[in-house]
Structure 1
Amino acid sequence: MRDFQAPGRSVVLAPNAMAATSHPLSTAAALEVLQSGGNAMDAAVAAVAVQCVVEPQMTGIGGDCFAIVAEPDGKLHGLNGSGRAPMAATAQKLLDLGERAVEPTSPHAVTVPGAVRAWETLLARHGTRGLGDVMKRAIAYARDGYAVAPRVAHDWSKNVAKLSADAGAAAAYLVNGKAPATGDVMRHPALADTLQAIAENGSKAFYEGPVARDIVDTLQAKGGLMTLDDMAAMQVDDMVPVTKPYRGLTVAELPPNGQGFIALVMLGILERFDLASLDPNGTERFHLELEAGRIAYSLRDLFLADPAHMPVSVEECLSDAHLDKLASKIDRTRRIDNLPPSTLGPGSDTVYLTVIDQSGLAVSLINSVYKDFGSGICAPKSGVLLQNRGACFRLQPGHPNCIDGGKRPLHTIIPAMVLKDGLPHLSFGVMGGGYQPCGHAHVLTNIVDFGMDVQEAIDAPRMFFDETSYVLHAEGTVPEATVAGLRSLGHDVERVPGAIGGAQAIMIDRERKLLLGGSDPRKDGMAAGY
């Protein structure tokens, strides 16, 4: 129950349709499409296209996209719009070039961007409109300007050095060598031209011709291995979502190369404990959640990769016998010692959005350039800021996630969907790089085990662990008694100055014929409906 004497947001209620995104202009674009007769997919692509302009530190057309679509009858569809490494990018080639790791600002960290082809495919399969119809707002903001939102400005200010290191990025995203402040108006004319070309000619305008040439020339000038053939070969993959029961609901995630099944591993472990009897902000709840996370993430880093290279199956990982074994590792009285550390660093940038329309079509969509402003490399003629998803690869021969030509890297971004009695019930996602599986488990257990509404579940205090050291990070809203209790169990706990992740969610209340939406106050966004 919300405390109306404290700062906060109410859950948003609407009878017809709803969108929840991390930026107000994105939510407004989605509602505009919905109210003009478009469906949830039309609105979702319109919204994410806007975010690729107004949240450049988080996402862009130089990034990747994943989606889960739930039809009104509960039929699920998954789409993997992540790109592959250039065909020449083998581990041996990079080692011969003197690389010892795929550094986040290296041209070798740039995989083929998959988002644009993913949007086009999603519209063709589930939408009623084309790219030209739904990209108008994005093009207008890029050409005519948009006011920089507070969270966007905060993130931008921390990346001046990164943007300054690349001529294209500095020209497009800095003003006289400085980051824009809140309320400053930014324009991206080169990006506007590229978006217009995509709107008029489809994804071929991005993957072939002048835009592709600009991207390839920019990377090759820095020693990168991307070719025009790599760009032209980009294809998205249909995926059957992986599902797992959780306390009477069916939770759906996408299979590898994303880490969605790790959220299901966490939920499978946590289902073996009586969470509802605990304080949702107390020591024992966070101890169980974070120990389950450490176990599940250890599994991720041993095995998760392009599915063609994984030595174990998702089904094996999610078997009851395996989950029983994992849950038995948790000691409620002390921290587990000697778990192997993760190889991924914390903190990456992503946008997640969800839209549900009047027919009940639900879209759960996530789009990312990975780290802040991706690789920091911007193709100057096209204005395309390029992701650095290839930084998730290893250069360790024989490891499932070792880089190789045409291979997709381990991917952090994961949309989610929950069914109840076989029908769409909750469309949600949690941003924040490696945090996302833990965030899915945290938000969903807030709703299912602790009875929170979707906004309360998103607002609630969060903790995560540094993925290279397992030091626990606590937001400022985590009670001091909880931090002290975790330390008494052997955890090293630090307060973090920044917020952990972000989230959006929409729940369907079939009995009252209502949609209930929430959007994370850790970002600039909002949920809205009609």
Structure 2
Amino acid sequence: MKSHLTLLLFLAGIISVSAQDRISGALFATRSEVLAQKGMVATSHPLATQIGLDILKKGGTAIDAAIAANAALGLMEPTGSGIGGDLFAIVWDANSKKLHGLNASGRSPKNLRLKDLKAKGLDKIPSFGPLPVSVPGAVDGWFELHSKFGKLPMKELLAPSIRYAEEGFPLTQLVAWYMNRTIPFFQNREFPNIKETYIDQNGGKLPQEGSIYKNPFLANTYRKIAEGGREAFYKGEVAKTIASFIQEQGGYLSVSDLNSHVSQWVTPLSVNYRGYDVWELPPNGQGIAALQMLQILEGYDFSEIEFGSPEHLHLFTEAKKLAFEDRAKYYADPDFVNIPAETLLSDAYAAKRRAAIGEKAGIYNAGEISAGETIYMTVADQYGNMISLIQSNYRGMGSGMVPPGLGFMLQDRGELFSLKEGQANTYAPGKRPFHTIIPAFITKDGNPWVSFGVMGGDFQPQGHTQIVMNLIDFGMNLQEAGDAPRWDHTGGSSPTGQGPGLGAVRIESGIPYQTVRGLMDRGHEVRYARGVYGGYQAILWDPVQKVYHGASESRKDGQAAGY
């Protein structure tokens, strides 16, 4: 209703544009919100969404449905996910009325030392091949979630994906597009098992949009996990196959590294933004960068600043630069460094950082303190539970390392370590790398409101901040908040060792050219780009009507559905 009223006022000339569609410039979303009372699933693939919905209808919890849908995405969207990667989640537990955080990210090989990498003449860890491979944490993450919040047996949760992997399913447009660019890239580098896994199982041809795609190797691996549990992956033949393959390729991941892997339950961190509590997971992820940005931006009155205006994008960009300088200096594995999260998220520190923002684009340093592709999905169930889950291999399909006969590619998260000595994120054996993937959650007065995420590498904290502002500052509904045009700032310091710089603002076509000129006047370099603005899914709970609202990213193949 609110969006329809806004449209009428706009057409009547009473108000100016506040939420343009990125393509047409119209004032409405590319699709309406999905509404349902019992449960809701929002993923980046329609078939995965339907699998999750089936699990909910069988009486499964949101966590059961999320595991089933995530397994499906590892099959159906291997360009952004899979059991070769890591997982993070925030769970709203209806029984305890509390949020729980899970860090299911893996660690670096224990027998690979910084001096070994230096001896190879490296100044950074390569993007592909065996060296960036860290322990895949996703499967352990499934079992941790399931043991705490699951209801249906794991065999039942993995059965749909096993069936689809054996019988096949039609490839969606975006996944086919990425596969047709990624698979030949790895073949040209002569990485083993690429052709056998992704082409030979499908008639010897590169999969195309609409073609029936199968992965019987992955079906077999899923079946082992369904029958043998996490031990089948981390201590059985799967672990031996992974370790021996990586070592054959010149890497260091061992059976011992896989045997000793554990996930970690963590306490989510939050800031209050205009009466709403926004929650992220602590490092080694980058979620608190979004919280730092919101703390800085709360000091400005956006009721007086138009959406998509030069002032809006300028203030946002400067807040991002400030937060990302701190990200580069302080964010890392908390088992190895002391992260001053409480100070970074304090009102006093935000005020100090905010004071550095002027009328022109600036170059900043970190504050002084004493002391790609991914999938995102969210599910809500009839019991009131909600889960915000993100999972990835990094750089799309991952490292290019496909162990023989297993049906999946291993992640290359180790690339995100710094090789400069003395930094928070400097490589060390058995250390978790800085992570880009982050789930998010918003509560209001201690009750769940929105479970959401925006995948996409360094864009993710920026995407989270934009969604929160779209919902709270600009009054958009859940779908509008995701469909509104986006922008990002690229450049500046990074946890891998890159130093400060002015960088550039990249914008979608829905941002008006008046804003482009306004940003240039303020000293920003402005570029146009496509495909860098992430993928959004969200579920909102309306406690008055007791209805779930679902939204899915219009830039992807996804779907929100409920019952």
- TM bin, normalised by shorter chain, reads over 0.9
Counterpart for residue 345 of structure 1? none
Q: Deviations over 1:434-467 (max 9, x none)?
A: 1111111000110001000110000011101223
Displacement of 1:516 after TM fit? 0.8
CA–CA separation in structure 1 for the residues paired with 2:533 and 2:362: 23
Q: What is the percentage of aligned positions where both structures have the same residue?
A: 41
Amino acid at match of 1:15: Q
Cα separation, 1, equivalents of 2:390 and 2:29 = 28
- Which residue number in structure 1 is paired with residue 128 of structure 2? 105
| Partner residue, 2:401 | 377
The corresponding residue for 1:18 is 40
Quote the offset at 1:158 in angstroms. Answer: 2.3
Q: How many residues align?
A: 522
- Of 321, 328, 344, which residue of structure 2 is paired with 1:301? 328
Query: Gaps spanning 5+ residues in structure 2: where?
Result: 8-25, 367-371, 493-500
| Higher alpha-carbon deviation: 456-465 or 282-291 | 282-291
Selected match of 1:224 from 235, 246, 251: 251
- Over residues 158-216 of structure 1, what are the superposed CA-to-partner deviations in whole Å (9 max), with x where a residue is unaligned? 21343212121232224688642211111111111001100111011111222111111
Which has the higher mean CA deviation after the structures are superposed, 178-187 or 82-91? 178-187
- Choose from 170, 180, 189 the match for 1:157: 180
| Structure-2 residue corresponding to 1:344 | none
Work out which of the residue numbers 522, 541, 545 in structure 2 matches 1:512.
545
Structure-2 separation of matches of 1:284 and 1:156: 39
Letter paired with 2:294: L
Q: Is 1:55 aligned to residue 77 of structure 2? A: yes
Aligned CA distance change for structure 1 residues 484 and 526 (closer, same or farther; 3 Å):
same
In structure 1, how many angstroms separate the alpha carbons of the residues matched to 2:527 and 2:462? 18
Q: Which amino acid in structure 1 is aligned with residue 218 of structure 2?
A: L
Deviation per CA, 1:325-353, whole angstroms, max 9, x where unpaired? Answer: 1111111x21113558xxxxxxx111111
Partner of 1:252: 279
CA distance in 2, matches of 1:281, 1:74: 36
Q: Which residue number in structure 2 is paired with residue 352 of structure 1?
A: 376
CA deviation after TM superposition for structure 1 residue 498, in Å: 2.5
2:444 aligned with 1:411, yes or no?
no
**Counterpart mapping for 1:79-94 below 5 A:** 79-94=102-117
Which of these residues, 501, 519, 528, is aligned with residue 495 of structure 1? 528
Contact 2:87–2:103 (CA<8 Å) still a contact in 1? Answer: yes
Query: Counterpart amino acid of 2:508?
Result: E
Alignment of 1:311-390 (within 5 A): 311-331=338-358, 333-339=359-365, 348-390=372-414
Q: Alpha carbons of 1:450 and 1:6: their partners in 2 closer, same or farther (altered >3 Å)?
A: closer
* Pairing 1:483–2:506 present: no
Among 471, 478, 491, the residue aligned to 1:447? 471
Q: Give yes or no for the alignment of 1:466 onto 2:493.
A: no
Distance in 1, matches of 2:290 and 2:415, equals 22
- Which secondary structure state, in structure 1, belongs to the residue aligned with residue 176 of structure 2? helix
Q: For 1:173, give the aligned amino acid.
A: Y
TM-score norm. by structure 1 comes to 0.95
Q: Distance in 2 between matches of 1:103 and 1:427?
A: 34
What is the root-mean-square deviation of aligned Cα atoms in Å?
Answer: 1.7
Q: Secondary structure at the match of 1:302?
A: helix
Say whether the 8 Å CA contact 1:426–1:508 is kept in structure 2.
yes
What is the distance in 2 between the residues matched to 1:233 and 1:417?
30
Q: What is the aligned partner in structure 1 of residue 307 from structure 2?
A: 280
Report the secondary structure of 1:433's partner residue: coil
- CA shift digits 1:291-334 (9 cap, x unpaired): 11111011101111001333441001111111101111111x21
| 2:449 counterpart residue number | 425
Extract unaligned runs of 5+ from structure 1. 341-347
Query: Greater shift after overlay, 376-385 or 228-237?
Result: 376-385
Alignment partner, residue 154 of structure 2: 131
Asked whether 1:173 is paired with 2:195, we answer no
State the SS of the aligned residue for 1:190: helix
Match of 1:343 in 2: none
Separation of aligned partners in 2, 1:355 and 1:148: 23
Given residue 489 of structure 2, which amino acid in structure 1 is its aligned partner?
Answer: F
Q: Are the aligned partners of 2:322 and 2:364 in contact in 1 as well (CA < 8 Å)?
A: no
With structure 2 as the length reference, what TM-score do the two structures score?
0.90
Q: Would the alpha carbon gap of residues 502 and 293 (structure 1) be closer, same or farther in structure 2, given more than 3 Å must change? A: same
